[in-house]
Amino acid sequence: MSRKLFGTDGVRGTANIAPMTAETALKLGMAAGRYFTRGEHRHVVVIGKDTRLSGYMLEPALTAGFISVGMDVVLLGPLPTPAVAMLTRSLRADLGVMISASHNPFEDNGIKLFGPDGFKLSDEAEREIEDSLDALDGMLVPSHQLGRARRLDDAVGRYIEYCKNTFPRGLRLDGLKVVVDCANGAAYKTAPQVLWELGAEVVKVGVEPDGTNINRQCGSQYTETLRSQVVAHGADLGIALDGDADRLILCDEQGMVVDGDQIMALIGRSLHRAGLLRGGGVAATVMSNLGLERFLAGEGIALYRANVGDRYVLELMRRQGINFGGEQSGHMILADHSTTGDGLVAALQALAALVEAGRPASQVLRLFQPVPQVLKNLRLSSPAQAAEVLADPAVGQAIAAAERRLDGKGRLLVRKSGTEPLIRVMVEGDDSALINAAADDLISLCATLAGVGA
């Protein structure tokens, strides 16, 4: 049975429109709270959020749902997603919740759930919780068993210390000027403070959230701001996080963007050379560039590919015993430190490599020449429409024809986004003209089948 409410990264949608409503949040709190109420101890859930206006609606609704089924609630306030995962374990809570739509605009919001081990829930657990939303009768506890809510005042400080402890002992960032763009999101307090305490001169960008400016012309999805600030300030490195700080994009001193594939190459090689890379290789997704695969092979490192989504990368890592993986989009999972993607922790590993190399970022962060890759999106009215278009036999025939044209000299991927009503087309290969034509043809066909403009 497929899930209808949960997607690849929790529940997500436009705020105050089903399913992202206070009513859904209330019911989800009840259902998830009951699912994790096991044993006779006092049960606890921690709740964090990013800086979206709708967080003020969803946080109390979730809180009420958890309290009504007897769970105590610890409110963390605005804090990165990986901080919620970390504090769920640190506080020995039964459940962790992050209210965020990650890199999406402020109109959207989402709810991500973490188990007591700090890992995102499995598809099976999410399915069971979703199924119980229609059977909430009898879940309410007697009035004397209601939970309580309190705020954890030092949540920010705890996460700052955790991040600093992932940076190699004996190294400092003295003498480095770093621009950090926090996307007006969840890391607007933590990221600049961590960098400053490690010795860097910090130029802060995107640290004035107002509820509606999260990810707006800033952060990892809009790197123009970061690039211009790095050049203007003569900085050594630029760091861009997204709204919930679980993904990372870098920028060298020349203002050139460094994507997740290059970051994976850097960290993967560093871990391998230090004898710290486990599981035989690096975990990535089907979207990672063929150039990354070729580079890692040259270093004696295998590249394993999962479906798109950091949860699927992590599932692959856990199956294979791999301790490092990520996505081209900037999710980086360092399993020796985190149970989910952590943009700031990954940035610290890149900074450590920069300090140890003693050379400019432009010479340290670019380890391979990417194979030409084309990414195109087609926005439709709903995820259901995207799925319907991709199920059309004509799409399958067009994909097969494009693969024959590539003749084994490239890769092709057509998929439905797990977080937005998009059809995504990726084509890569050594022939730029060929891959562009293949991508255009596929997008045009999907647009025609959907009755929209490409």
pTM of the prediction? 0.89
pLDDT of residue 1: 44
Final residue before a domain boundary, out of 197, 227, 256: 256
Strands 44-49 and 95-99: parallel
- Amino acid at position 453, single letter: G
Burial of 39 (0-12, 13-18, 19+ CB in 10 A): exposed
| Last-in-domain residue among 224, 256, 288 | 256
Report the distance separating Cα 93 and Cα 115, nearest Å. 9
H-helix or E-strand containing 204? Answer: strand 201-205
State residue 65's pLDDT score: 98
CATH number at 379 reads 3.30.310.50
Between vectors from CA 129 to CA 383 and to CA 92, what angle results, nearest 5°? Answer: 120
* Same domain, yes or no: 307 and 276: yes
Asked if residue 33 lies in contact with residue 191, where contact means CB atoms within 8 angstroms, the answer is no
On whether residue 65 sits in a domain, the answer given is yes
Same domain for 53 and 103, yes or no, is: yes
pLDDT at position 3 is 64
From the list 54, 102, 220, 417, the catalytic residue is 102
Q: Which of 80, 89, 13 is nearest to 49 (CA)?
A: 80
Taking alpha carbons only, the member of 85, 79, 83, 45 closest to residue 63 is 45
Is residue 395 included in any domain, yes or no? Answer: yes
One domain, residues 251 and 267: no
Which helix (H) or strand (E) segment holds residue 340: the answer is none
Q: Give how far the C-alpha of residue 160 lies from the chain's centroid of Cα atoms, to the nearest Å.
A: 19
Residues 145, 91 share a domain: yes
161 belongs to a structural domain = no
Q: Are residues 251 and 263 in the same domain?
A: no
Residue 2 lies in a domain: no
418 in a domain, yes or no? yes
In a domain, residue 405? The reply is yes
Instruction: Specify the number of domains making up the chain.
Output: 4
* Beta carbons within 10 angstroms of residue 300's beta carbon: 9
Centre a 10 Å sphere on the Cβ of residue 450 and count the other Cβ atoms it contains. 19
Asked if 272 and 190 sit in the same domain, the reply is no
Burial 184-220 (b: 16+ CB within 10 A, else e): bbbbbbbbbbbbebbebbbbbbbbebeeebbbbebbb
State whether 81 and 15 are in the same domain: yes
**pLDDT, position 410:** 86
Look at the block and give the residue holding tokens 């009503």.
Answer: 421
One domain, residues 204 and 72: no
Cα separation, 381 vs 149, in Å, equals 39
Domain span at residue 209? 174-256
Give the E-state strand segments of 224-346 in sequence order.
237-241, 248-251, 257-258, 281-285, 302-306, 324-326, 332-334
User: Is 102 marked active-site?
Assistant: yes
Same domain, residue pair 45 and 146 = yes
pLDDT in tens, the chain (454 residues): 456 789 878 899 999 999 999 999 999 999 999 999 988 899 999 999 999 999 999 999 999 999 999 999 999 999 999 999 999 999 999 999 999 999 999 999 999 999 999 999 988 999 999 999 988 988 999 999 999 999 999 999 999 999 999 999 999 999 999 999 999 999 999 999 999 999 999 999 999 999 999 999 999 999 999 999 999 999 999 999 999 999 999 999 999 999 999 999 999 999 999 999 999 899 999 999 999 999 999 999 999 999 988 889 999 999 999 999 999 999 999 999 999 999 999 999 999 999 999 999 999 999 999 999 899 999 999 988 999 999 999 999 999 999 999 888 888 999 998 778 999 999 999 899 999 999 999 999 999 999 887 6
Residues 6+ apart with CB under 8 A from 374: 425, 426, 427, 428, 435, 436, 438, 439
Same-domain status, 211 and 88: no
Q: How far does the chain reach from its first CA to its final CA, in angstroms?
A: 33
- Domain containing residue 230: CATH number: 3.40.120.10
**Do 209 and 219 have their domain in common?**
yes
Non-local CB neighbours of 132 within 8 Å, separated by 6+ positions: 31, 34, 35
Regarding whether 284 and 231 lie in a shared domain, the answer is no
Establish if 165 belongs to a structural domain. Answer: no
Please report whether residue 242 resides in a domain.
Answer: yes
Q: Tell me, what's the pLDDT at 2?
A: 54
